[in-house]
Structure 1
């Protein structure tokens, strides 16, 4: 049972169990993952006035939209900077096996903290996708193939996202198709996991959100 803090959404495939838990940076911030219609009420519980959710660590993907700020929201109130790996020791986050992070939120050497999570198996680094892109979401593109272009946790491989994205010269958008920043962040995480002797235990993949 995990207490939901801040502004949180549960992303599901229609009728399925929750796939992701998304915690936004600020209560008033609009999130691209706002999918209130896909809530699974059966997975929610009120405990002492706080909303909780049942989490299945073996299959649920935790998505932190803005990494460093979101990690702070998970800790007790008035927790001071900087966040250390010891702060997450014994916390429910330490049990997470599948984690997705917004590349734009990977600051303050946060990869060093994430690399200490003992049970992590998959790390997805999500590139920026323009929610107002005139081409729509990738799953609506005519050349999109779910079986071929998506990971086991329903993200889209970045290489496929770049290759299939319609020509920006025709309709410009803010979708991140330049690999420079994404691969730099990926390298930083690989170095961090290597330093923790976990490089062979965690699969790191750069992805886009197809929804």
Structure 2
């Protein structure tokens, strides 16, 4: 049973014997094969094998850094609405994705987040504060870097895009996942990968330093 936050009753996800065998031979994401779209499983598999991760988010906190309550509220707002079980499947999948950051040898992860994503009180003030505190805690970990792009920066390269760059064991295995309204889109052509590497580097360059980003998030918490 997966433990959920807030006042929502935990949902026990039953996994068939076939699903368990498949997960053991292929990966944990296979237990979701019959309940989630394939692109979500593809993202989990890419992250599982990644040697490094970079992301840029304008409107949402990146999934790998979301709290349980924040993630659940995001899924509640999807149109057309998800059923309660669909929401819990997606929340559980997201939490299992995050487990890669807790490995003994986790991939390095650099996240660039725009101020807009930090100021939206997803789930209400209490959930929003807990989410900001969680970002601070995660950003203190040696392998996780959190940078904020404040409104004061103005226009910047990549504005409005949600990007997840997954570094493979060799560069030709790199993949970019772009969050579109109809679902994630994968990009792996070298010319496009190079463009996204450059774009992310420029976004990281205009963002606050990790130290200044922590101070910025502390001020956001104090202002709430």
State if a TM-score over 0.5 links the two structures: no
Q: Normalising by structure 2, report the TM-score.
A: 0.29
Greater length-normalized contact order (CA 8 Å, ≥ 6 residues apart): 2
| Bigger share in helix | 2
Q: Normalising by structure 1, report the TM-score.
A: 0.30
| Bigger share in strand | 1
